[in-house]
Amino acid sequence: MSFGQGGPPWGSGGQQPQQPQSHWGTQPGMPPAGAPGQPGTQTPDWAALAEASESRAKRRRLLMVGGGALATVAVAAVVAVAVVSANGSDDNKSAGVPPSGSVPGSTASQQPTFAETKPPPPPDPKDYISSADKDKAPLSAAGLFPGSKFTKGGAVYKKGATAETKACDSVTNGPLGALLKSNGCTTVLRATYEKDGVAITVGVAVFDTEKQATKVKDAYKKGTVKSLSGKGVPAFCNTTICRSTTNSYGRYAYFTVGGFTSGKDVTKKDKKVFTAGDDIAGLAFQQIHHRGETQASAAVQNP
């Protein structure tokens, strides 16, 4: 380094320290040449230059010491963070501490639990028409067979007369009356439907239990309910051959008798009579089942 020149830049801003002025030649305010303590020639002031050099060296050492201290603090901070981070994971693992979400007493472990519940199954409509103890809805021929007609597919059957009696054997032919009476029949409800000269009477025998109705159905061999005329339907199936059916559902056994209003005998070729008889038998089943549905629905709404 040449005397009289500033040293290299220091500090984070890259600024150079103030350069000392060189003392060459005569300067204003300085003793003239040849004065005591000053050479008579233009010789550099070595003492001043040495002092400036020493000042620069001292500042350099202070900057180096300061920078080193800052670096040491930064390294110490990094090491401290690393140690804390390492302790945060290793200590938990070594000590067997569960994650915060599973620590006993934590919010996550105190979430309420609810047992799985299922709504009860809906009542079976048949339960309500299988026993007089539950089958409490009003019962009548007009109520069981309402309206003035019955439509099945494209067929429309006009409803004729309805009737009901507690003397079950009085509205039957053949051995059917005795079968009903011996098994505890309480009522027989009848209704007649007619279409295109074919008339069908359906008779519903009512019992206290399903077992009684089923026994009648299984034991049935001969006999029919009496046909019911009136309300536009002439007498039929009194002296002619007619087709009859029987079945049961719940505490009800139901029967049909069908034939021609013209007095013609029914043969196996008369499909219209068979179809009409099956349609009206299906109506009886449908209406009995609907009775059970109505009472089951009421039980759900008013437990």
Each residue's pLDDT, cut to its tens digit, for the chain (303 residues) gives 433 433 433 333 444 444 444 333 434 444 444 444 444 445 556 566 666 667 676 666 655 555 555 555 444 454 444 444 444 444 444 445 455 445 455 555 566 666 677 766 778 999 999 999 999 999 999 999 999 999 999 999 999 999 999 999 999 999 999 999 999 999 999 999 999 999 999 999 999 999 999 999 999 999 999 999 999 999 999 999 999 999 999 999 999 999 999 999 999 999 999 999 999 999 999 999 999 999 999 888 876
Please name the residue ranges forming H helices in the chain: 46-95, 141-144, 176-182, 210-219, 271-301
Q: What share of the chain is helix, strand, coil (3-state, %, to 5)?
A: 40, 20, 45
Of 252, 247, 172, 162, give the one whose Cα is nearest residue 205.
252
Number of domains in the chain: 2
What is the Cα 33 distance to its own chain's centre? 110
Spatial contact of 171 and 203, defined as CB atoms under 8 Å apart: yes
226 in a structural domain: yes
Spatial contact of 248 and 216, defined as CB atoms under 8 Å apart: yes
280 in a structural domain: yes
62: domain range?
A: 44-92
247 in a structural domain: yes
The verdict on 66 and 148 lying in the same domain is no
- Does the pTM exceed 0.85? no
29 in a structural domain: no
Spatial contact of 169 and 155, defined as CB atoms under 8 Å apart: no
Q: Rounded CA gap, 81 and 78, in Å?
A: 5
